[in-house]
């Protein structure tokens, strides 16, 4: 019975406050449409406990006053505990929202980034519609930034990189049409680059270009995108087809954003990848020009393919000469 009453009170409170609340989650695309983003980890609801989180007072009003008095006395950790006990015991009351907001503020003031971030995300997950959204979102981003900067210099395992990305992904999940979403996506792309997951960084940047054209972070996004293309080329150094794809991506970035301050660098990276493909193609041509293993026809096709794709290459003249020799050889064999 107590549980049902609590749910009803929460619903009434949410409907009353909703008219004054700008809910970014209802402004456009849903989290499901951001398909490259993993669903955020479930934010567990705080509930009463027989053993932990037992309030010192008998009512939420008295518990809130008690926690506030502790905070005024400078006993911030004890105040945080008292606020948290209130949320656990009386989650559906107006005092619980005040307590959770105070909890996030205390952890932020104390420089406890992880606890502050968790408190902010809890607000987004379980008190949506009952507070001014912008300050909470901004604080959550600030805490996520601090955690990322602190851990970037450390030797991280893949799970740690994933947790840093999830900090931003959760914020996007709860406010997918917040104007700062492109900035958060760019932070995710940068973390993928740091983890050497360049293909994922390219995917995230592609989504920014598609859904937020001409956004405020476009210039930085193009830089991250092109750098990821160049770095991914090192990973795919022996895959001519994928190198060609990356070369086209860089060519597209140069063509559609010719005023970018780093466009010359992007063009240089494109030329490097083109040279990588050219060297691979020449190796392949030489590989098939082996009469002990392959036919003359195979060697001829290899030469023709190279000349079709790289007619201006330094090796092109030698390949043309070899193609003429092979053609004569094939002609001689046919006459016999």
**Closest to 110 in 3D by CA, of 138, 142, 77:** 77
Q: What is the mean pLDDT of the chain?
A: 86
Distance CA 36, CA 173 (A): 12
Residue 174 has pLDDT above 60, yes or no: yes
Ordered by where they begin, the domains of the chain are 1-31+40-160 (1.25.40)
- Residue 152: the pLDDT is 75
For residues 268, 270, 271, 276, the Cα torsion angle rounded to the nearest 10 degrees is 130
The share of the chain scoring above pLDDT 70, in percent, equals 85
- Residue 65: the pLDDT is 98
Q: Phi first, then psi: what are they for 29, rounded to 5°?
A: -65, 145
pLDDT digits (tens, 9 = 90+) for 126-158: 998 899 999 999 999 999 999 998 887 676 566
- Residue 39: the pLDDT is 55
pLDDT digits (tens, 9 = 90+) for 196-240: 999 999 999 999 999 998 899 999 999 999 999 999 999 999 999
- Residue located via tokens 């979102």: 137
Distance CA 105, CA 97 (A): 12
Distance CA 304, CA 300 (A): 6
- Residue 34: the pLDDT is 44
- Residue located via tokens 């947790």: 163
């Amino acid at each position: 019975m107590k549980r049902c009453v609590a749910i009803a009170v929460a619903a009434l409170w949410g409907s009353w406050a909703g008219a004054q609340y700008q809910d970014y989650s209802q402004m456009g695309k849903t989290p499901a449409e951001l398909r490259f983003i993993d669903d955020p980890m479930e934010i567990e609801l705080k509930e009463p406990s027989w053993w932990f989180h037992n309030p010192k007072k008998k009512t939420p009003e008295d518990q809130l006053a008690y926690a506030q008095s502790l905070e005024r006395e400078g006993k911030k950790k004890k105040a945080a505990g008292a606020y948290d006990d209130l949320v656990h015991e009386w989650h559906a009351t107006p005092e619980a929202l005040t307590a959770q907001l105070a909890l996030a503020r205390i952890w932020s003031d104390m420089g406890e980034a992880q606890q502050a971030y968790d408190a902010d995300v809890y607000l987004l997950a379980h008190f949506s519609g009952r507070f001014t959204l912008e300050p909470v979102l901004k604080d959550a981003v600030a805490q996520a930034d601090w955690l990322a900067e602190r851990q970037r210099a450390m030797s991280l395992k893949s799970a740690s990189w994933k947790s840093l990305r999830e900090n931003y992904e959760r914020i996007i999940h709860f406010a997918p049409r917040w104007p700062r979403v492109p900035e958060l996506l760019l932070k995710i792309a940068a973390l993928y680059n740091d983890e050497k997951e360049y293909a994922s960084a390219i995917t995230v940047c592609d989504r920014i270009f598609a859904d937020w054209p001409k956004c405020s972070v476009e210039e930085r996004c193009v830089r991250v995108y092109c750098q990821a293309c160049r770095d991914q080329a090192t990973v795919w150094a022996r895959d001519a087809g994928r190198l060609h794809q990356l070369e086209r991506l860089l060519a597209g970035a140069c063509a559609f954003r010719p005023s970018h301050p780093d466009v010359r660098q992007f063009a240089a990276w494109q030329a490097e990848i083109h040279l990588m493909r050219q060297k691979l193609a020449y190796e392949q041509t030489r590989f098939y020009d082996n009469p002990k293993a392959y036919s003359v026809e195979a060697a001829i096709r290899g030469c023709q393919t190279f000349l079709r794709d790289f007619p201006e290459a330094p090796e092109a003249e030698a390949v043309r000469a070899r193609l003429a020799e092979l053609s004569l050889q094939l002609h001689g064999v046919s006459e016999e």
